[in-house]
Structure 1
Amino acid sequence: MSIHVNIPPGIKGLSEAQVNRSREEHGNNNQFNKTKHQWWSVLLDMLKEPMLVLLIAVAVLYLITGELGEAMFMLVAIVLVSGISFYQDNRNRKALEALEKLNEPLSKVIREGQLVEIPTHDIVVGDMLLIEEGNIVNADGEIVHSNDFMVDESALTGESYSVYKSETGNDNKVYSGTVVVSGLAICKVKNVGFGTRLGKLGESLHSIKEEATPLQVQIRKFVRVMAIAGIAVFLLVCLVNFLSGQSFTDSLLKGLTLAMSVLPEEIPVAFTTFMALGSWRLIKSGIIVKKISTVEALGSATVICTDKTGTITESSMRLQEVYAFSSRTSYSQDNAWSKEALEVIKVSMWASEPVPFDPMEKTLHEVYVQNADRDERPQFGMVHEYPLGGTPPMMTHVFEDAAGNRIIAAKGAPEAILDVSLQDKESRSSIESKVASLAARGYRVLGVARSEFKGTDFPEEQQALPFVFIGLIAFYDPPKANINSVFKGFYDAGIAVKMITGDNELTSKAIALQSGLRGAEETIDGKRLMQLDAAEMRKQVGHLTVFARMFPDAKLKAITALKESGHIVAMTGDGVNDAPALKASHIGIAMGQRGTEIAKSAAALIIADDDLSKMLDAVAMGRKIYANLKKAIQYIISIHIPIIGAVSLPLFLGWIYPNILTPVHVIFLELIMGPTCSIVYENEPMEKNTMQRPPRPFSTTFLLWHEMSVSVIQGLAITMGILFVYQLNVRLGGDEASTRTMVFTTLIIANIFLSLVNRSFYYPLTSSFNNRNYLMTAALSVTVVLLVIILYVPLVAQFFKVIPLSFEAISICLATGMVSVLWFELWKWLRRIKSKYSSDIQF
């Protein structure tokens, strides 16, 4: 992508042919050895899965006992289970690869005299790399041009301080992985990829793993506990069968059957699938997720802290008004700029970056070019720069031409400029009134000053220069057209919104009121905030919504205070100064278009088009993913309980037919459950009340007892149903085959109704039919067809050791399966009644 800027004379960069030659000779700028995906490595990993190991063990036992039909079925089951796992792994891998590709940063290089943005891996040796404040250096190079350039090299050296570098100094080298703290430089790339210092350390950096989230930890603990329980009951069943006179092989087979019924191997698969595909869905909507664990936190956000410029506002920065101190007059953009106004504009342009990236500075350059009799920029080069600094901030640039003529210009917060340039109290009071008047209209106001200085021993601080006040420039950056509805969406979802900006209080308040931000009447600035003690700060950040003149330490303090108050904090930002607060927040959100590389690096999410409404979509997606994952896992827990009961209770209770279900039946049920929980529920649409619920507490999960108890009760109700059918059939004189058929059929029917009922833990079953989840319809239809085939195709029925059921028997199974599940609809109805009188219901 080509970018229009002023490139210093003599720097042309590489041609396309030179780029290709360099790439052939030195390679691409890839700094990590990525393990190439191999299908066979996935299969090898699957062989480590407990369920597959159990299936193989059962297949071997069937072969030993000469039951070839059962052994073949187990082999088919192994292929199917492996196929489902392979399909899920492939889907997840593709989603994560797309995520990784989108997260790759872009770099600016000069090629054939044009500044262009390219993917970082496309940088080649010899490229002219342009790096500026907020960038991460993406290759090793040598500086050929710089403006007050400073770099933080702590990523390589461990020393956390800024290093000054220039093309004429002793230190003119830059290294990949370091961060530009201030200024701008153009560097000739010397090393890329593994040739860079970072490349040589890359493997150890790349191997660092992400910390597990609370839900991941609880899922691992739960699966571990169930695995231990599976081993215990496996040994117990083996012992009971053996002591009752069964052979060792038969006892082992029965023990493995129960172990398969206990192991909830679908849960970690469902978690990985939901998070990976959720991240992919967010990518498609314009939200780049850097860590898939962030998806889990999205639905818990209780407060979003947003900057003003470009997030709440359009970032158009139209030059609205100019106040010239020389004539004590304001000039509007509605009329042609006067000579006095143009002088203020000219000085403010010289105080801007020569290669502007800030919207205000771009506007100043454009207005200068449109109105100047002669463009003087090519004749002057920057010889010294004081970057934006101070509280409140200001910046100063020193330019000089070949004849030694010098321009020193400064701009910044009006109070900062007035402090260094105007001592006349009466004039200052008048100007402060003018600033307040402009700010109250929502304008972004900057003060402008010029200075003179001979020699090259510039003072260490810009404030020491002898400045003369020139005037004020006022920009208007109107709120985005949709921002009122965006804020309403956050409020409806129970999420507080706070504006944290570097602008002054009056401007911030005006824009907040125009944007529909609640509680905008009262404001506080960063200096006052920092003077509060910890308790008072927590009180104020919880109460106030507009925070002005916020510098990095103040932003970090505000975020920390919110976290200490129990909030789950999302924060948007785009600059270097936002990086600490972005990192400290639970969900750091960088802007894709305006965001600096360091902000994007610190953030967990990147909004590609800088549209805050996408954050609403992200919260909705986070809530939907969590809700659907909850449904899937609770379904898994509920359906595993009756399977365990059917396999173990007849044996332990000494009933007439102790081994009513065999490994064939259990694995058939497992094959139904796998796709249902990990594929079908993931495709469930968001429930209609999702964004009208309060955020869920992040520290709690649905694996806690008060949540799991519902699933356990569901599972026990189905268990009672199948045991009722078992005893009823026995009392009516039924043999083992008919009893097995009744139990198996009831369990399948209950599974079908459980899948439907668990689509919502609040709304009735009938409303779920409008969800249009075609995968659910397909999965349940296939289940019904397979049940009919098992019951009424003689060869299949013989294999499953079942018999065709009469209409009366099917009716009993259907009625029992329905009753054992549909009682849950009454529970949901009572919940809906209760929710009318309580706002604390969590769904």
Structure 2
Amino acid sequence: MLVLRLPYVPMSSCPTQEDDYAAEAAARLAADGPNELPAAPPLARWRLLADILREPMFLLLLACGAIYLLLGDRQEALMLLGFVVLVIGISYVQRQRTERSLCALRDLSSPRALVIRDGRQTRIAGRELVRGDLVLLAEGDRVPADIALLTASNLMADESMLTGESVPVMKLPPGCVYAGTLITQGTASGSVTATGAHSALGRIGASLAALGGELTPIQQETRRVVRGVAIGALTLAAALGIAYWWLHGDALRGLLVGLTLAMALLPEELPVILTLFLGLGAWRLGREQVLARSIPAIELLGATTVLCVDKTGTLTSNRMQLRRLWSEEAAYACGQAPEPPLPEELHGLLEYAVLASHRQAFDPMEAAIGAAGARLLANTEHLHADWALIDDYPLSRQMLAMSRVWRSPSRQDYVIAAKGAPEAIMDLCHLAPAHGARIAAQVAALADSGMRVIGVACATFAAPPLPSDQHAFAFVFLGLLALEDPVRPDVPAAVAQCRDAGMRVVMITGDHPATALSIAHQAGIATDGVPLTGDELDGMDDAALQARLAGARVCCRIAPAQKLRLVQALRARGDIVAMTGDGVNDAPALKAAHIGVAMGARGTDVAREAAALVLLKDDFSSLLTAVRHGRRLFANLRKAIVFIVAVHVPIAGLSILPVLLGWPLLLLPVHILFLQLIIDPTCSIVFEAEPMEAGAMRQPPRQPRQRLFDGAIVLRGLLQGAGLLAMLLALFWHARLSGQSDEAARAAVFIALTLSNLALIHANRHAAGRDGEVPGGKNPYVGWSAAAAVSLLLVVLGVPGLRRLFAFAIPATGPLLLCGLVAAATLAWCALLRRARWPAGAR
């Protein structure tokens, strides 16, 4: 075992003012640095610039500039280089925006720590921990820094990442737990002794796993498409260059024509928009308090068909309150105004319920029991601050009850307090069937009102050693406690939205069936009145379980370990499953789900590390928000792809057909570059910022196997582009017939193409919705992009030097009016295509 002796530097004596404590913490943070290990820094500016310059588009532009110099067209060469600088600037700003989003995402993913500052428990980012902070640890926590233990209860730590030993070790005060290790059992409190690079983990040079880096399914599909199109484009460009050489006998001009076509066909926007969409999508989720730890999860959110959610804290407020105490001698209702004294007959019930709970309660139910005990048993002999905890028996899948063993200073016998599911407590007490039936009837009556019911029992044990099984104790049944955790106010509406969106909500809880059904009814979850229980699940084979889950909406008395089988059965049925969890035992189910969702506030570090999403606000509406973002992101990607395909068709056609028909060249490299100034920002900014379609959450989830580049989407883009190309060719033919010069005809076609691109932007903003549906909000970038494009076009036409460089002449009034008509016709053509009977995947 690795042992590091670290100096302990306590925080100065308790400050008299909160500001004093904050100032001292800030001073130590400044002196020691953030509590984080050195990580790979964001990409440097020169690295971003180098990545941009290596892109094929810029290499083609440089080649075109060199050819212009060889042809003696110095002005064209200089103009191209000027535009290259401008486009590089735009690309650089977009890359920096993405990089900043990813950095913000890494900051959000920083581990969190539960500390006591100024006498209050609060969760802070792990990077803000300083020496002397008092930290609370519980089962499932990743230790955020080197900590000297002050108190510990049955504490076990997995130090394998430091020592290589796979067996957890017992930790007792005044020992230490080290940064990066995992608490596998028990609770503790301690003071931070070392942070960041000064910790044990920092000293041996370990580093945290970096977020992201893997290729997502969409990225893999995009790479295949880009590679295939690039090969085809270069082949076609080479053929066109050779054809021009053969027809006109000018090799350099032929090479220039080929390079122009390659620039027109290369879909260099696709990797850019994909990176930006996914990066900004994760960043937008972060702003909604949803941390995306795995980018592929964002892709699948829109395909989710089943949401498996915990009851406590997700559907309910996670603020338990003790409402009823019941024994066979008396009953009591808490929370009355004024609250009467607790009957003497119930003192023992509440006393042992408090003893069966942790003194420093992390669980809301135990916190509620402790608060009720402190209030109702105040100034009595039933609160035992001086009793010593000897051992405890944790909750398990086999026994849904826990016991804690205590020793009183005034007696030798051990005192055992147990609490748990009423049926488990009755089993521990070995009650006669008739006796158990009377208690079960009272349990059902309390559970029918939506309260969580637990049983309490007590026992004594003469001397050590303690038995290995709770059943060895002679427990006496004391009574029942009923606690209430009200449904969050926003849950019924959120569940209704899930139903409208074609998603099934399955509530999973450890509660009594009657309690579970009552809460499900309050939450708006449709049930058939027959919940799936943990015992029923254990008795089914896989085929029977899959059939049973077809209609199941409520799963109760479910142990954490049983969640894994539920997820596997749902996946086997073909569902796309999102699963929420917060405990150590939830980690396998979170990993097995398509989208594991951990709770950020109450969840353990193990659950958060296993999950793809972390809800920093532990409520159901956050999960629904994530689904909305997933659907919006995928729909906007498809809109952008339709636009990219549609835009490239006329550009490619205007590059190829004039060569084959013997017309003058209509598009030169500078024209392609100008159009890039419109296409790239539009794809990466306008479509990414496009709000969700108003009816997107009233449509069923997309098929998980639906590809981003499916036939229907590509066909829609090709038809849009083909219609525009036909109108542009007709415009050029009309301009030539009306006596316009080649330069004026070229200018008319280019004006119409630019305006029609803006029309395509507008048309494809609504292409993913159903007829009559519009986005659910405004997109501020649409107007700015249109204004910028029109302004640039006016500058080119209005400045004589630029007009000559573009080989333009001002067209006559007739062709100019036709340019606007072509843009309007483009809108009409796209609207006609949208009304056509498209497969569902094309919407």
Other structure's SS at 2:589 match: helix
Aligned equivalent of 1:283, options 275, 283, 286: 286
Is the aligned partner of 1:540 residue 2:541?
no
Deviation for aligned residue 1:250: 3.1
> Following superposition of structure 1 onto structure 2, how do residues 586-601 of structure 1 map, counting pairs within 5 Å?
586-601=594-609
Residue 130 of structure 1 is matched in structure 2 by 136
CA contact (8 A) 2:305 2:504 kept: yes
455-464 vs 204-213, which moves further: 204-213
> Following superposition of structure 1 onto structure 2, how do residues 423-438 of structure 1 map, counting pairs within 5 Å?
423-438=431-446
Residue identity matched to 1:625: L
Deviation for aligned residue 1:770: 9.2
Aligned equivalent of 1:814, options 810, 813, 820: 820
Aligned equivalent of 2:784, options 778, 799, 805: 778
Q: Calculate the TM-score normalised by the size of structure 1.
A: 0.91
Other structure's SS at 1:805 match: coil
For the structure 1 residues 87 and 145, does the alpha-carbon distance in structure 2 shift closer, same or farther, using more than 3 Å as the test?
A: same
In 1, the alpha carbon distance for the partners of 2:480 and 2:264 equals: 76
In 1, the alpha carbon distance for the partners of 2:801 and 2:521 equals: 75
476-485 vs 355-364, which moves further: 476-485
Aligned equivalent of 2:503, options 495, 498, 504: 495
In 2, the alpha carbon distance for the partners of 1:292 and 1:85 equals: 23
Other structure's SS at 1:679 match: helix
Is the aligned partner of 1:610 residue 2:611?
no
Deviation for aligned residue 1:722: 2.1
Deviation for aligned residue 1:127: 5.1
In 2, the alpha carbon distance for the partners of 1:768 and 1:535 equals: 43
Residue 306 of structure 2 is matched in structure 1 by 303
In 2, the alpha carbon distance for the partners of 1:22 and 1:337 equals: 49
> Following superposition of structure 1 onto structure 2, how do residues 39-78 of structure 1 map, counting pairs within 5 Å?
39-78=45-84
Other structure's SS at 1:543 match: coil
In 2, the alpha carbon distance for the partners of 1:434 and 1:115 equals: 37
Residue 332 of structure 2 is matched in structure 1 by 331
Unaligned stretches of 5+ residues in structure 1: 1-9
790-799 vs 747-756, which moves further: 790-799
Aligned equivalent of 2:807, options 773, 793, 801: 801
CA contact (8 A) 2:640 2:687 kept: yes
1:746-800: CA deviation from partner (whole Å, max 9, x where unpaired)? 3223212211111112669997699543321222233233333433443332221
Residue 656 of structure 1 is matched in structure 2 by 663
Other structure's SS at 1:130 match: strand
Alignment length (residue pairs): 821
CA contact (8 A) 1:396 1:410 kept: yes
1:345-366: CA deviation from partner (whole Å, max 9, x where unpaired)? 1110110011001111111111
> Following superposition of structure 1 onto structure 2, how do residues 494-643 of structure 1 map, counting pairs within 5 Å?
494-643=502-651
In 2, the alpha carbon distance for the partners of 1:596 and 1:670 equals: 48
In 2, the alpha carbon distance for the partners of 1:654 and 1:158 equals: 74
Is the aligned partner of 1:294 residue 2:294?
no
> Following superposition of structure 1 onto structure 2, how do residues 191-202 of structure 1 map, counting pairs within 5 Å?
191-196=194-199, 198-199=201-202
Residue 356 of structure 1 is matched in structure 2 by 361
Aligned equivalent of 2:400, options 385, 393, 401: 393
Is the aligned partner of 1:212 residue 2:198?
no
Other structure's SS at 2:61 match: helix
Q: What is the RMSD computed on CA atoms of the aligned residues?
A: 3.0
CA contact (8 A) 1:150 1:163 kept: yes
Deviation for aligned residue 1:247: 4.5
CA contact (8 A) 1:107 1:117 kept: yes
Deviation for aligned residue 1:272: 2.0
Residue 674 of structure 1 is matched in structure 2 by 680
1:383-436: CA deviation from partner (whole Å, max 9, x where unpaired)? 212222243411111223545564321111111111111333322221111112
In 2, the alpha carbon distance for the partners of 1:392 and 1:351 equals: 15
1:685-726: CA deviation from partner (whole Å, max 9, x where unpaired)? 222111111111122123012221111121222222222333
Is the aligned partner of 1:239 residue 2:242?
yes
Deviation for aligned residue 1:295: 2.3
For the structure 1 residues 24 and 99, does the alpha-carbon distance in structure 2 shift closer, same or farther, using more than 3 Å as the test?
A: closer
Residue 6 of structure 1 is matched in structure 2 by none
> Following superposition of structure 1 onto structure 2, how do residues 141-160 of structure 1 map, counting pairs within 5 Å?
141=147, 143-153=149-159
Aligned equivalent of 1:705, options 697, 711, 716: 711
For the structure 1 residues 820 and 110, does the alpha-carbon distance in structure 2 shift closer, same or farther, using more than 3 Å as the test?
A: closer
Residue identity matched to 1:416: A
CA contact (8 A) 1:135 1:598 kept: yes
In 1, the alpha carbon distance for the partners of 2:792 and 2:206 equals: 50
For the structure 1 residues 825 and 208, does the alpha-carbon distance in structure 2 shift closer, same or farther, using more than 3 Å as the test?
A: closer
Unaligned stretches of 5+ residues in structure 2: 1-7, 14-20
Percentage identity across paired residues of the two chains: 35
For the structure 1 residues 527 and 733, does the alpha-carbon distance in structure 2 shift closer, same or farther, using more than 3 Å as the test?
A: same
Residue identity matched to 1:473: L
Deviation for aligned residue 1:155: 5.0
In 2, the alpha carbon distance for the partners of 1:227 and 1:558 equals: 45
Q: Calculate the TM-score normalised by the size of structure 2.
A: 0.91
Other structure's SS at 1:78 match: helix
Aligned equivalent of 1:717, options 706, 718, 723: 723
For the structure 1 residues 79 and 374, does the alpha-carbon distance in structure 2 shift closer, same or farther, using more than 3 Å as the test?
A: farther
Residue identity matched to 1:336: P
In 2, the alpha carbon distance for the partners of 1:189 and 1:546 equals: 43
Residue 644 of structure 1 is matched in structure 2 by 652
CA contact (8 A) 1:302 1:568 kept: yes
CA contact (8 A) 2:402 2:419 kept: yes
CA contact (8 A) 2:277 2:633 kept: yes
Residue 318 of structure 1 is matched in structure 2 by 321
712-721 vs 814-823, which moves further: 814-823
Deviation for aligned residue 1:525: 0.8
For the structure 1 residues 481 and 19, does the alpha-carbon distance in structure 2 shift closer, same or farther, using more than 3 Å as the test?
A: closer
Other structure's SS at 1:104 match: coil
Residue 5 of structure 1 is matched in structure 2 by none
Other structure's SS at 2:579 match: strand
1:273-309: CA deviation from partner (whole Å, max 9, x where unpaired)? 2222233333333323333432222211111111111
786-795 vs 749-758, which moves further: 786-795
Deviation for aligned residue 1:97: 2.0
CA contact (8 A) 2:269 2:680 kept: yes
For the structure 1 residues 31 and 567, does the alpha-carbon distance in structure 2 shift closer, same or farther, using more than 3 Å as the test?
A: same
In 2, the alpha carbon distance for the partners of 1:298 and 1:645 equals: 38
Aligned equivalent of 1:340, options 335, 345, 349: 345
For the structure 1 residues 153 and 583, does the alpha-carbon distance in structure 2 shift closer, same or farther, using more than 3 Å as the test?
A: farther
Is the aligned partner of 1:829 residue 2:830?
no
Deviation for aligned residue 1:643: 0.6
Residue 700 of structure 2 is matched in structure 1 by 694
In 2, the alpha carbon distance for the partners of 1:11 and 1:60 equals: 67
Residue identity matched to 1:185: A
1:192-251: CA deviation from partner (whole Å, max 9, x where unpaired)? 434555446766753585432222211111112222223223332333333445544433
1:159-218: CA deviation from partner (whole Å, max 9, x where unpaired)? 7665443348xxx55343333222112345555434555446766753585432222211
Other structure's SS at 2:461 match: coil
In 2, the alpha carbon distance for the partners of 1:336 and 1:841 equals: 66
CA contact (8 A) 1:509 1:520 kept: no
Deviation for aligned residue 1:626: 1.7
Deviation for aligned residue 1:491: 0.5
639-648 vs 600-609, which moves further: 600-609
